[in-house]
Structure 1
């Protein structure tokens, strides 16, 4: 079993990573960090750069948590990739970051978080960054 965290290089992604590290330590579970792109990785701001990814690796190493970093470039949505991996690993928990969005933004763009919350077979922990709470 493992804990999966969907990571993007944003305050919400950092909040999700920190919560996932806490959960992995508390549950004595391996942490799988997933960062994905639909194929536009050179222009996709959600896809972590080499420097950002190195920072995540350093944070995980410092935490002492057993971990694995996975960057995926596929045609599937991030939510689909995370749900597939959760099924494959028989995940104990999925951790995701949430950000505030307008109703029109939700309608036009869909919601990766909503898909994960509704379709995951395991519990999902959704967290907001402190910056998200201030808006």
Structure 2
């Protein structure tokens, strides 16, 4: 399972997710959603972002499915729900550095996934 965002961090997580799926002989489920009531969401991939990601996934040779669209839930809830429904062994997410105050003030999608997952979570951090 990959919680994807269209940026360098998301691309790093996608690469790690492909490697994990390949090493486990597993298929990959990719989730990129946004709340239906949000007008702008930098974590939501546009058509060009999704085309680039799908090209990467096709060339990897890993079997995959993509869940992309709007939802009534948060992105974290969508990732956790998809992981539960698919019986995911592992969730792969990108993790950016946040200050302690930033963690306190702003709810983190990554933190919600880390704390709510019923399977292992691989948090990919760029160097």
User: Above 0.5 in TM-score?
Assistant: yes
> Counterpart of 2:69 in 1: which secondary structure?
strand
Q: How many correspondences in the alignment?
A: 127
C-alpha separation between the residues in 1 aligned to 2:111 and 2:43? 17
Deviations 1:64-114 (A, max 9, x none): 000011113112111111111111111111000000112222222111111
Q: TM-score, normalised by structure 1?
A: 0.88
C-alpha separation between the residues in 1 aligned to 2:69 and 2:30? 11
Question: Which of residues 6, 9, 32 in structure 1 aligns to 2:6?
Answer: 9
C-alpha separation between the residues in 2 aligned to 1:70 and 1:76? 14
Structure 1's consecutive aligned runs of 4 or more residues displaced over 6 angstroms after TM superposition are: none
Q: Which residue of 2 aligns with 1:91?
A: 88
Residue 41 of structure 1 deviates from its aligned partner by 5.9
Matches within 5 A, 1:24-103: 24-39=21-36, 43-103=40-100
When the two chains are superposed, the root-mean-square deviation of aligned CA atoms in Å is 1.3
Deviates more, 1:60-69 or 1:114-123: 114-123
Q: TM-score, normalised by structure 2?
A: 0.93
C-alpha separation between the residues in 1 aligned to 2:68 and 2:22? 22
C-alpha separation between the residues in 2 aligned to 1:105 and 1:75? 25
Deviations 1:26-67 (A, max 9, x none): 111110111011125652111111011000000000000000
